[in-house]
Amino acid sequence: MSTHPHYSYEGIEVSEDLDEFLKRMRRVERRIREYIEEGIRKTLEDIREEYYSINTLLNPSWSCEGHLRPLYTIKDVGNAYVIYIDLPKADLNTIDVRFKDNLMIIRARLTEEFTISRWSGRGGEVRFCEYREVINLPIKVDPNKVKVITKGDRIQVIINKE
């Protein structure tokens, strides 16, 4: 009869040495898994970062043709999507919001043309005259279910989901 103490691993009786070995293997396995997970997480982060950087580089917020892209956010409030759009210096009578499938198309002329004076380079020579933006929405829009509220030079667009 063996004098070595007996341990159980997944219902199978094993010796102490083998049990210790299996424990070490499990620790190594866990460390490898954590290392791989950390590597994947870091890689995904780097990809996201690069995507954002390229996106920013290739989608400037202004154009030499004189139009600006407004800031906007899309919020999901449960039963609706609410889009806020910031349109400083916009002529409120010229704000035009249209929908096509899942796109929201915004245009608005400025109250007056302006240049960003003292800004060196071509940008400082551009006479900005209007806002233009096309926003990708998470759903296809029925214009009848849309409410547009203007408050000063900011717009709130409420799109009901139902």
Partner 1 sequence: MSVHREEILGDFKLVEYVPFKLTRPSYGVVALPDAGLVGVIAAWHIIKALGLKEVGGIDSYSYLPPAIVVSNKELRMPVRIFAGDDILLIYCEFTLPIHGMAQLSRILLTYFERKGVEYLLLMSGLPIQNRFEVERLRSYYVATSSRASELVKGVEVLPFENGYLVGPYALLIKDAMSFRLDTLMLLTESFLEFPDPEASARNLELLSKVINKPIDVKELLEQAELIRIRARDTMKDVVRNLAQMKKGFEYSPPLQL
Parallel/antiparallel/unpaired status of strands 128-136 and 67-68? parallel
Q: Does 63 bind partner 1 (CB under 8 A)?
A: no
Q: Does 7 bind partner 1 (CB under 8 A)?
A: no
| Dist CA 78 CA 86 (whole Å) | 23
Q: Does 93 bind partner 1 (CB under 8 A)?
A: no
Residue owning tokens 């009869």: 1
Which distant-in-sequence residues (6+ apart) come within 8 Å of 137 by Cβ? 74, 81, 83, 102, 103, 104, 159
Q: Which of residues 23-62 bind partner 1 (CB under 8 A)?
A: 52, 56, 61
Q: Does 70 bind partner 1 (CB under 8 A)?
A: yes
Q: Does 79 bind partner 1 (CB under 8 A)?
A: no
Please report, as ranges, the residues that interact with partner 1 according to CB under 8 A: 52, 56, 61, 68-71, 73, 84, 86, 88-89, 114, 116, 120, 128, 151, 153-154, 156
